[in-house]
Structure 1
Amino acid sequence: MILITGATGHIGSAVIERLLQLTAPGQVAGLVRDEAKAAGLKAQGVQIRVGDYNDPASLDQAMQGVTKVLLVSGGGDDDGLQQHYNVVDAAKKAGVGCLAYTSRALKNPDTLVNQLMVRHFQTEDYIRASGVPYILFRNILYMDTLPQFVGPQVFEKGIRLPAGQGRVSFALRRDMGEAIANVLADSRCDNRIFTFTGDATYSFADVAVALSELSGRPVEYHAIGQEAFAARLQAQGLPVGAIQRINGFLTDIKNSQEDTISSDLSDWLGRPPTPLKKGLKTIFKL
């Protein structure tokens, strides 16, 4: 039995979709907070386990009969790290034979500006210390998040971000979900680490060129300063903490934290990952 946490989320649902092609539905379980939102999964034969990262008792119950768990990293909650620890503790307590985790492909955790990302590596350390056999998926920034970075008026105002000429080996969630499922369907669990990235790196200038070609409208990228960017977000009503986090994210891109390239994703897909222009065509419906 393979349990996927965050089963109704983007990456969790992508993993389950592929697992259902590789194994019997009765061997796939999904952890959700709201069972009503998992009706579609249940209809496909996925076993639904109701639980919350903040509720250890519910996690203990959800782990019963499970041999392998994929911990999909949580959001930006202040207690997010403890939530991860709770899942690891429950897996160990239940005697789960393999614990997988969706971490991040970042070059140097010691020099990260966005401190939220550090919790991924703290979670990795906690998993290692647990003694449970593990698989770590270090995922690059999802290409699917680009609309959040470039904004809803990208075709009118272009891209204005403090990311310099930093490059990212973007990959689509669906490609990562498929590859993660392929690994999970494999019987091995020998403390392996996979670095899932695209086959090429792209700057936001490259994103602008691709959007221009796809839309037939001129899109330009302007590398602006952090202060100007923060002032713009403040004018939009974002809280200070959120502004600092977003600025940190983009500064890490500028500092080449996200430009790693690995063949792991293409190896486990059995094909090249979706390139930028093709991915943007789907994401922006162009």
Structure 2
Amino acid sequence: MKHKILVTGASGGLGSLVINLLTKKTEIENLAVLVRDETKELAKRYKSDGIEVKTGDYANKKSLIKAFYGIDILYFVSAGDDHQRVQLHENVVNAAKEVGIKHIIYTSGVWKDETISSSIAPLVASHKQTENFIKSSGITYTIVKHNLYAEVIEMLIGNKSQLLKTKTIYLPTASGLSSFVPKKDLAEAEVTILLNPTTYANKTLEFNGSEPISFSEIANKISAIVNEPIHYFSPDVTEFKAEMNKFGLPNHVIEILSTFSLAIAKGEFDQQSFDLEKVLGRKTTPLSKFLEETYK
């Protein structure tokens, strides 16, 4: 049975990977994308490829209702605004319920300590609330809880040029492990779900990388790639914040770096479930390969 699939976040990294994979696996007429601005270059490209482009904003429920008509399956990429996410996501779920969407695939996040006492609760507790909105709506769902994107590594430690200047990874992550996942692996698995929705109906899956890794190990791997010694140093968080202030980083950036570093140190992202491997039918992309592509 053919379903009309709407991909939100289609102008972002994950959403664009999903839609590009879908175009290779199903007919174009089965696909639609949601964008906020249809005059943007990527939106124009989707339209020229024959993909239906719908305009809508999570902050505007009426625009979502209009965009969701005729859609069977909603690929719901979470909003980036941590402070407004709960209200934005409630709009999405309510609009989906109002127009009769049959199945929501929602990109949530993993964290071990799912309580308000967790250091990352202010940033990720909204995912838990969204999951509850979806389950209460009566719409068939698949919740995919993402571990940290492998692409976050470069955000945390800098690009190749920056690393070669300092030859140091400086983060208060201690010896904490994270099961990083490249976005392309997540996209591949979630396309499988989108094309086989009944197999994953009303399931919550944890999508972790196959290889939990510390930043000390990441430093060693990057050293081998760039043929330079990259050292790892884990300061206490007070020293880290002070050093980042000296470099002129904005306070909100320092807080995000500190929060996620401490969460990594506490093992929040050291998850061992194999749901992603089962959906992919293989292990996730080795971190060595991902780091080589990023830092070669």
TM-score under structure 1 normalisation?
0.95
Counterpart for residue 33 of structure 2: 30
Structure 1 residue 8: deviation in Å?
A: 1.0
Unpaired segments ≥5 residues, structure 1: none
Contact 1:76 1:116 survives alignment (8 Å): no
Counterpart for residue 208 of structure 1: 219
Contact 1:25 1:45 survives alignment (8 Å): yes
Counterpart for residue 88 of structure 2: 83
Q: Choose from 7, 20, 23 the match for 2:10.
A: 7
The residue identity in structure 2 corresponding to 1:17 is N
Counterpart for residue 171 of structure 1: 181
Matched, 1:120 2:127: yes
Q: How does 1:1-286 map to 2 (within 5 A)?
A: 1-37=4-40, 38-110=43-115, 111-114=117-120, 115-152=122-159, 153-157=162-166, 158-188=168-198, 190-284=201-295, 286=296
Cα distance in 2, alignment partners of residues 44 and 265 from structure 1: 30
Q: Secondary structure at the match of 1:143?
A: coil
Q: Secondary structure at the match of 1:171?
A: coil
The aligned length equals 285
Cα distance in 2, alignment partners of residues 258 and 22 from structure 1: 32
Q: CA RMSD in A?
A: 1.4
Cα distance in 2, alignment partners of residues 73 and 187 from structure 1: 19
Cα distance in 2, alignment partners of residues 283 and 46 from structure 1: 31
Unpaired segments ≥5 residues, structure 2: none
Structure 1 residue 17: deviation in Å?
A: 1.4
Contact 2:209 2:284 survives alignment (8 Å): yes
Query: 1:186-243, CA deviations, whole angstroms, 9 ceiling, x for partnerless residues?
Result: 0315211111111110000011011001110110110111112112332344443443
Query: 1:48-77, CA deviations, whole angstroms, 9 ceiling, x for partnerless residues?
Result: 111111111110101010001011011135
Q: Taking every aligned residue pair, what percent have the same amino acid on both sides?
A: 34
